[in-house]
């Protein structure tokens, strides 16, 4: 058994989200967003490399040496699946191992608004799940595919780097392909997917203009495309989609997005009020005629206002969602305050007075 398995088992048993390995430190686990060291000695250069080398293949070891990092999916027998990023830094090799749930999650278990499950019924268009690293984007996408797998008869092609959740075919035929193993890149996978009779294509990450352009083109031919972006908020997401293209192509992209984009779900993981875990809080943009017109007219900056007035169709700003959960006592008000855009709305709920200086530098003194 690879030595790393013992650490991975301990991390999973403690309910952590990630396990870190780095030279000069003991293994670290992330619990509810906070890093905590395990009771183990500091890892030496040779020990760290030996632990990580056991789970690399010739191909992934070569990619690590050539590119400086590599993503792999790792199955530890009797323990479960992990997404592992192994990378080089100044002191030697290091790795972050993301703990993956043993079962594909259900949307109902994630506590997301009901409008998200309605996206599983769409027959064409672009659906984006966005957020920072570690915000649960892959989990939400997997749950959305799981919803489709139980409610429609379709072919779903997933392009992932690496494969995280393994789907069992129910009502859908699900074809999972991994970058580096089955395909060279997301762009190559998108090109070939269109020849595989798909109804739905899931792209693990829209990283560059080529993959974004191919994804949008796939929606124009009547496919549903699911994808992720490392952006926060619907406004920033649409701005990024447009801005990634040359200026002379941006007008056409705006018109195309207005016709093909169906929804943006932007999420954060926020600590629960009792400190025992985190939950996804989401901003939701649904493509209405009004929002489509704003995109065509280069008035993307007005989208937050359109979301504010669009609650009847399931839209909500991140601040609206955060405030709702703070008022219901579901999430930590201090964590919500730090993540909010308009912090003044959250100030009266804050329990750590020093945070109020982020709104009014003199407020702590006055208190």
Q: Are residues 253 and 357 in the same domain?
A: no
Q: Which domain holds residue 28?
A: 4-99
Q: Are residues 357 and 339 in the same domain?
A: yes
Write down the pLDDT at residue 134: 87
Q: Are residues 220 and 303 in the same domain?
A: yes
Q: Are residues 271 and 200 in the same domain?
A: yes
Counted domains in the chain = 3
Q: Which of 99, 127, 148 is the last residue of a domain?
A: 99
Q: Which of 74, 99, 124 is the last residue of a domain?
A: 99
Q: Are residues 86 and 196 in the same domain?
A: no
Encode the chain (367 residues) as per-residue pLDDT tens digits.
899 999 999 999 999 999 999 999 999 999 988 899 999 999 999 999 999 999 999 999 999 999 999 999 999 999 999 999 999 999 999 999 999 988 899 999 999 999 999 999 999 999 999 999 889 999 999 999 999 999 999 999 999 998 989 999 999 999 999 998 899 999 999 999 999 999 999 999 998 899 999 999 999 999 999 999 999 999 999 999 999 999 999 999 999 999 999 999 999 999 999 988 899 999 999 999 999 999 999 999 999 999 999 999 999 999 999 999 999 999 999 999 999 999 999 999 999 999 998 776 554 444 4
Structure tokens at 325: 């959960």
CA gap 139, 246 in Å, rounded: 32
CATH classification of the domain holding 193: 3.40.50.300
CATH classification of the domain holding 51: 3.30.450.90
Q: Are residues 319 and 190 in the same domain?
A: yes
Q: Are residues 69 and 144 in the same domain?
A: no
Q: Are residues 10 and 118 in the same domain?
A: no
Secondary structure in 3-state letters for the chain = CCCHHHHHHHHHHCCCCEEEEECCCCCEEEECCEEEECCCCCCCHHHHHHHHHCCCCHHHHHHHHHHCEEEEEEEECCCEEEEEEEEEECCEEEEEEEECCCCCCCHHHHCCCHHHHHHHHCCCEEEEEECCCCCCHHHHHHHHHHHHHHHCCCEEEEEECCCCCCCCCCCCEEEEEEECCCECCHHHHHHHHCCCCCCEEEECCCCCHHHHHHHHHHHHCCCEEEEEECCCCHHHHHHHHHHCCCHHHHHHHHHHHHHHEEEEEEEEEEEECCCCCEEEEEEEEECCHHHHHHHHCCCHHHHHHHHHCCHHHCCECHHHHHHHHHHCCCECHHHHHHHCCCHHHCHHHCCCHHHHHHCCCCHHHHC
Q: Are residues 194 and 119 in the same domain?
A: yes
- The closest alpha carbon to 107, from 55, 142, 152, belongs to 142
* CA atoms 283, 200, 206, 253: torsion sign: negative
Q: Are residues 39 and 142 in the same domain?
A: no
Q: Are residues 75 and 213 in the same domain?
A: no
Confirm if 281 and 325 have CB atoms less than 8 A apart: yes
Q: Are residues 280 and 302 in the same domain?
A: yes
């Amino acid at each position: 058994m690879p030595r790393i398995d013992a650490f991975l088992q301990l991390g999973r048993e403690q309910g952590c989200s990630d396990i870190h390995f780095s030279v000069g430190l003991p293994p670290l686990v992330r619990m509810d967003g906070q890093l905590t060291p395990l009771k183990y000695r500091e890892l030496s250069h040779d020990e760290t490399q030996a632990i990580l080398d056991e789970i690399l293949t010739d191909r992934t070891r070569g990619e690590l040496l050539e590119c400086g990092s590599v993503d792999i999916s790792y199955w530890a027998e009797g323990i479960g699946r992990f997404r592992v990023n192994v990378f080089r830094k100044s002191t030697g090799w290091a790795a972050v191992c993301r703990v993956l749930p043993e079962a594909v999650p259900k949307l109902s278990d994630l506590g997301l608004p009901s409008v998200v499950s309605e996206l599983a019924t769409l027959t064409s268009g672009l659906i984006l799940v966005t957020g920072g690293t570690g915000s649960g984007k892959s989990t939400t996408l997997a749950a959305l595919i799981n919803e489709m797998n139980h409610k429609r008869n379709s072919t779903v092609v997933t392009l992932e780097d690496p494969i995280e959740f393994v789907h069992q075919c129910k009502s859908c035929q699900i074809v999972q392909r991994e970058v580096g193993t089955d395909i060279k890149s997301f762009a190559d996978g998108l090109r070939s997917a269109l020849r595989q009779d798909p109804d739905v294509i899931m792209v693990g990450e829209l990283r560059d203009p080529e993959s974004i352009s191919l994804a949008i083109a796939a929606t124009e031919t009547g496919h549903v495309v699911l994808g992720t972006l490392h952006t926060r908020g619907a406004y920033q997401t649409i701005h990024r989609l447009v801005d990634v293209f040359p200026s002379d192509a941006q007008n056409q992209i705006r018109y195309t997005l207005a016709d093909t984009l169906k929804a943006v779900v932007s999420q954060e993981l926020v600590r629960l009020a009792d400190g025992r875990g985190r939950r996804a809080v989401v901003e939701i943009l649904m493509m209405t005629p009004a929002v489509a017109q704003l995109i065509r007219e280069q008035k993307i900056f007005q989208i937050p206002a359109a979301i504010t007035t669009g609650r009847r169709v399931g839209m909500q700003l991140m601040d609206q969602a955060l405030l709702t959960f703070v008022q219901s006592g579901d999430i930590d008000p201090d964590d919500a305050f730090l993540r909010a855009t308009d912090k003044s709305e959250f100030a009266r709920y804050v329990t750590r007075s020093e945070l109020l200086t982020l709104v009014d530098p003199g407020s702590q003194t006055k208190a």
